Structure 1
Amino acid sequence: MKFADFHPGQVIHAGPYVVTPEESVAFATAYDPQWFHTDAQAAQDGSFGGLIASGWHTCAIAMRLVVDAALHDSESFASPGLKYVRWPHPVRPGDALRLQAHVHAVRRSESRPELGILEWRWQLFNQDGTQVLELEATSMFRLPMALRQLL
């Protein structure tokens, strides 16, 4: 999608993305090697009753879905950060995750008129409709010259 295609109130859907046990453990082993992400035997006796995916893996999956659904071939080039990130429920190997991205604001940067700013909330839900991720992100876009003059 191009920056001009986004509008407040818009909801973008993507998925499902199925989390495999191998992927979940491999990500955690490389980036978040806590026992409840990497050791199935120990995790069975833990608070979650089995392996759970790293929250950072969950964020990476959300990013993949957002790129596939909205940012691929766009003018997006960076993000200054997130307002917040929450993992209300764990992701388990085998979960099928779906994205809902809610566009809150679309505007031109006041200090840099060549930039478009997109503020949006991303949510991931598993196959049961349980929310497993919520975050608010800001994305920056380089505006084409023609669009700079219109906004």
Structure 2
Amino acid sequence: MSNKAFEDFTPGDVVEFHHVTVTEDDIIDFATDWDPQPMHLDEEAGKASILGGLTGSGWHMVCLLMRGMCDGFLLGSTSAGSPGVNEIRWLKPLRPGDELTMRYEVMSARTSKSRPGIGIVHFKFETINQNGETIMTMDNPIMFRRRETAEAGS
């Protein structure tokens, strides 16, 4: 459990928060349920595509990041949700055997004008493979209760 509150996020902070290895079965299982495009289900179909081989869905990458966020710092924090995602970029394919590192940079942090007990932290998330290549970025504000407000509600 992270116990992080709004005050724990400082602009400029860069934090690695999760690691995961993705298998061929992971890619095919996710695609079978959620994104059954041929390049996500079959190596030969992937080779015939512009991606050159079996690749994980971009939505699979987003789900891996979300799980990493929960395990890495959201669960047990004062998170109050998010107003949405500003941008997702899939920069390189997700491949079987990729060893992923997830990190965030705090771009800004401010107290909400309409709800002063809440702070809004603007994050840039990166998913990086074992070769040091950034394969996905996500620009995402997340709301956190401020510590004194969270403690008062306990």
Q: Above 0.5 in TM-score?
A: yes
Which of 30, 33, 48 aligns to 1:30? It is 33
Which of 138, 141, 147 aligns to 1:135? It is 138
Contact kept, 8 Å, 1:113 with 1:148, in 2: the verdict is no
Contact kept, 8 Å, 1:114 with 1:148, in 2: the verdict is no
Instruction: Please state how far the C-alpha of 1:145 moved relative to its aligned partner.
Output: 4.1
Amino acid at match of 1:38: L
Is the counterpart of residue 9 in structure 1 residue 7 in structure 2?
A: no
Amino acid at match of 2:14: V
Contact kept, 8 Å, 2:6 with 2:147, in 1: the verdict is no
Contact kept, 8 Å, 1:43 with 1:51, in 2: the verdict is yes
CA distance in 2, matches of 1:68, 1:13: 12
CA distance in 1, matches of 2:33, 2:91: 23
Structure 1: segments with no counterpart, 5+ residues: none
SS of match in other structure, 1:85: strand
Which of 124, 128, 135 aligns to 1:125? It is 128
User: Greater strand share, 1 or 2?
Assistant: 1
Scaled by the length of structure 1, the TM-score of the pair is 0.90
CA distance in 1, matches of 2:54, 2:76: 36
Scaled by the length of structure 2, the TM-score of the pair is 0.88
| C-alpha RMSD of the superposition | 1.9
CA distance in 2, matches of 1:75, 1:133: 26
Which segment drifts farther, 12-21 or 90-99? Answer: 12-21
Give identity over the alignment, percent. Answer: 37
- The equivalent residue for 2:48 is 45
- The equivalent residue for 1:20 is 23
Runs of 4+ in 1 over 6 A off after TM superposition: none
Contact kept, 8 Å, 2:5 with 2:78, in 1: the verdict is yes
Question: How big is each residue's C-alpha offset from its partner over 1:119-139, in whole Å with a ceiling of 9 and x where there is no partner?
Answer: 010011100011100111010
CA distance in 2, matches of 1:146, 1:52: 44
* Count of residue correspondences: 149
Instruction: Please state how far the C-alpha of 1:83 moved relative to its aligned partner.
Output: 1.4
Structure 2: segments with no counterpart, 5+ residues: none
Question: How big is each residue's C-alpha offset from its partner over 1:67-109, in whole Å with a ceiling of 9 and x where there is no partner?
Answer: 2222121011311111111011111011001112000111210
CA distance in 2, matches of 1:119, 1:148: 23
- The equivalent residue for 1:56 is 59
**Cα gap change, 1:107 to 1:8, in 2 (>3 Å):** same
